[in-house]
Chain A
Amino acid sequence: MKVEINGEKRELPAAAEATLAEVLAVLEIEARGVAIACNDRVVRRSEYARHRIAEGDRIEIVRAVAGG
């Protein structure tokens, strides 16, 4: 399944019911410390295990960094 994560095209294992939680697991990213938007909508942390990913989804995963 082709998706776009942080502007990069990615091929994810073709699981029938891939969720955001599984995407994080594949990328080895801890849910704590990030926030995610799917197709320009923020997905609440509590929804990661339920939120299904579809072909062509645009996923933004962000974190806090140093700044003023």
Chain B
Amino acid sequence: MQNFEDSPLRIGAYEFHSRLIVGTGKYPSMDAMQAAHAASGAEMVTVAIRRVNLGEKGGSLLDYIDRSKMTILPNTAGCFNAREAVATAQLARELLETDLIKLEVIGDTQTLHPDTRETLLAAEQLVADGFTVLPYIGDDPVACVQLEALGCAAVMPLAAPIGSGLGICNPYTIRIIKERAGVPVIVDAGVGTASDAAVAMELGVDALLMNTGIAAAQNPVAMAEAMALATRAGRLAFLSGRMEKRLYANASSPMQGLIGAPSA
């Protein structure tokens, strides 16, 4: 059913055909996660970095990710300052043999909004250290432009708080960010259902990153497919250039030749 050929999503030196990036958190089981990943068609997947529990045995999350199909995007989730985020990114690079990093520096534990100053500081250091940096950031056009100027490969504004599923709370700021940024804009956080994904893509953003919207659905596999379809539908609608909105009706059928009308 893929008739229209879209251009690939380019992030730094990487190229993707799917515009949906998925997570690995909160799935009811590893089986459900793997099936949802397959249904999503995603080519990039996020993971977190944490201390090994000493004395605990267990399989690795990486055993459940097919790295021949999925690029791993490690995150710095849980970091509250630039120093922690840079240290986490460096460990992630050694662990996963990738220069990709989703930079996440949290400034508030309840809203999980980012700390903009620490995110900018960390971004500067990580870019200098050779990372391909994808920062999670507020829906702040100024911060996004500053991150791009520092050399980030994309900017990832939130559309609503992480894990909230509230949808695209401020379409205006997301649109402005897309207008201003020269690097890909990826909506990270807030998408709760398929229509949210379509709305975000119709605004013209380049991709979506979502975890809870899929993982916390009653049926994550079906929702993963729904998100894949909605992401593509929204993208196609954006590229199509929608019709203008009008206040009044405008008939689709001709007003001439109606039966019972006096002949002209």
- Residues on A lying within 8 angstroms of B by beta carbon are 5-8, 27-29, 33-37, 40, 42, 44-45, 60-68
Residues B60 and A5 in contact, CB atoms below 8 Å apart: no
In contact, A65 and B212 (Cβ under 8 angstroms): no
Chain A residues, Cβ within 8 Å of B249? none
The answer to whether the Cβ of B94 comes within 8 Å of any Cβ in the partner chain is yes
Can you list 30 pairs linking A and B with CB atoms under 8 Å apart? A5-B54, A27-B54, A34-B52, A35-B49, A35-B91, A35-B95, A36-B91, A36-B94, A40-B87, A42-B93, A60-B51, A60-B87, A62-B50, A62-B51, A62-B91, A64-B49, A65-B47, A66-B24, A66-B47, A67-B24, A67-B47, A67-B75, A67-B77, A68-B23, A68-B24, A68-B25, A68-B77, A68-B163, A68-B209, A68-B211
Asked if B46 is at the interface of the complex by the 8 Å CB criterion, the answer is: yes
Asked if residues B162 and A62 are in contact (CB atoms below 8 Å), the reply is no
**What is the CA–CA distance of A31 and B175 in the complex, to the nearest angstrom?**
45
Count of inter-chain pairs, beta carbons less than 8 A: 100
Known: A33-B62, A60-B51. 4 other contacts (CB 8 A): A28-B57, A29-B52, A63-B50, A68-B77
Residues of A within 8 A of B162 (CB): 68
What DSSP secondary structure best describes chain B's contact surface?
mixed
Q: Which residues of B contact A (CB under 8 A)?
A: 23-27, 33, 46-52, 54-55, 57, 60-62, 72, 74-75, 77, 87-88, 90-96, 162-163, 209-212, 215
